[in-house]
Structure 1
Amino acid sequence: MLAILSALIPTFGLILAGFTLRQSRFLPDAFWPGAEKLTYFITFPALLFSNTAKADLGSLPVTGIAIVILGTVFIKSALVIMTKPALRVSNAAFSSIFQGAIRPNTYIGLAVAAALLGERGLTVTALCVALVVPTVNVLSVMACSWWGDNNRKTGFLSVLRDVCRNPLLMACVFGIFANISGLGLPPILGPFLEVLGRAALPIGLLAVGAGIDLQAARRAGGPVAASTIGKLVLSPAIAIGLAMTFAMSSADMAALALYAGLPCSASAYVLARLMGGDAKMMASIITVQTLVAIGTMPVLAILLHAA
Structure 2
Amino acid sequence: MIAILSALIPTFALIVLGFVLRQRQFLPDTFWPGAEKLTYFVTFPALLFSNTARADLGSLPLAGIATAMLGTIFVCTVLILIAKPALKVSDAAFSSLFQGAIRPNTYIGLAVAAALLGEAGLTVTALCVALVVPTVNVLSVLACAHWGVNDRQPGIKSLLGDVARNPLLMACVLGLIVNMTGLGLPPIIGPFLEILGRSALPVGLLAVGAGIDLMAARRAGGPVGFSTLGKLVLSPAIAAVFCILLGLPPIEMAAIVLYAGLPCSASAYVLARLMGGDAPMMASIITVHTLVGIATIPILAVLLHVV
For the criterion TM > 0.5, the same-fold answer is: yes
Q: 1:80 aligns to what?
A: 80
Distance in structure 1 (CA, Å) of the matches to 2:178 and 2:240? 31
* Partners of 2:16 and 2:209 within 8 A in 1: yes
Distance in structure 2 (CA, Å) of the matches to 1:157 and 1:267? 21
For residue 151 of structure 1, report the CA deviation from its aligned partner: 3.9
- Quick check: 1:234 aligned with 2:234? yes
* Partners of 2:116 and 2:306 within 8 A in 1: no
Distance in structure 1 (CA, Å) of the matches to 2:236 and 2:185? 33
Q: 1:222 aligns to what?
A: 222
CA deviation digits over 1:136-161, x for unaligned, max 9? 00000000000001142111111100
CA deviation digits over 1:38-64, x for unaligned, max 9? 000000000000000000000000000
Distance in structure 1 (CA, Å) of the matches to 2:204 and 2:220? 25
Q: Which amino acid aligns with 1:13?
A: A
Partner secondary structure for residue 27 of structure 1: coil
Question: Per the alignment, do residues 306 and 44 of structure 1 end up closer, same or farther by CA in structure 2, a change over 3 Å counting?
Answer: closer
* Partners of 2:117 and 2:306 within 8 A in 1: no
User: Which residues of 2 match residues 80-159 of structure 1 at below 5 A?
Assistant: 80-159=80-159
Q: Which amino acid aligns with 2:212?
A: I
CA deviation digits over 1:72-125, x for unaligned, max 9? 001000000000000000000000000000000000000000000011100000
CA deviation digits over 1:151-174, x for unaligned, max 9? 421111111000011000000000
Question: Aligned Cα RMSD in Å?
Answer: 0.9
Distance in structure 2 (CA, Å) of the matches to 1:274 and 1:29? 21
Q: Unpaired segments of 5 or more residues in structure 2? A: none
Q: Which amino acid aligns with 2:73?
A: V
Distance in structure 2 (CA, Å) of the matches to 1:221 and 1:58? 46
Divergent runs of 4+, >2 A: none
Distance in structure 1 (CA, Å) of the matches to 2:306 and 2:155? 47
Q: 1:171 aligns to what?
A: 171
- Quick check: 1:250 aligned with 2:250? yes
Q: Which amino acid aligns with 1:122?
A: L
Q: Which amino acid aligns with 1:178?
A: V
For residue 8 of structure 1, report the CA deviation from its aligned partner: 0.2
Q: 2:9 aligns to what?
A: 9
Q: 1:205 aligns to what?
A: 205
* Partners of 2:254 and 2:306 within 8 A in 1: no
Q: 2:60 aligns to what?
A: 60
Distance in structure 2 (CA, Å) of the matches to 1:132 and 1:306? 23
For residue 306 of structure 1, report the CA deviation from its aligned partner: 7.5
Distance in structure 2 (CA, Å) of the matches to 1:142 and 1:184? 38
Distance in structure 2 (CA, Å) of the matches to 1:69 and 1:114? 19
Q: 2:36 aligns to what?
A: 36
Distance in structure 2 (CA, Å) of the matches to 1:130 and 1:248? 19
Q: Identity of aligned pairs, percent? A: 75
Structure-1-length-normalised TM-score: 0.99
Q: Unpaired segments of 5 or more residues in structure 1? A: none
Distance in structure 2 (CA, Å) of the matches to 1:132 and 1:224? 22
Distance in structure 1 (CA, Å) of the matches to 2:221 and 2:169? 34
CA deviation digits over 1:222-250, x for unaligned, max 9? 00000000000000000000000001111
Structure-2-length-normalised TM-score: 0.99
Distance in structure 2 (CA, Å) of the matches to 1:183 and 1:217? 48
Distance in structure 2 (CA, Å) of the matches to 1:14 and 1:306? 22
Partner secondary structure for residue 163 of structure 1: helix
Partner secondary structure for residue 305 of structure 2: helix
Distance in structure 1 (CA, Å) of the matches to 2:270 and 2:205? 18
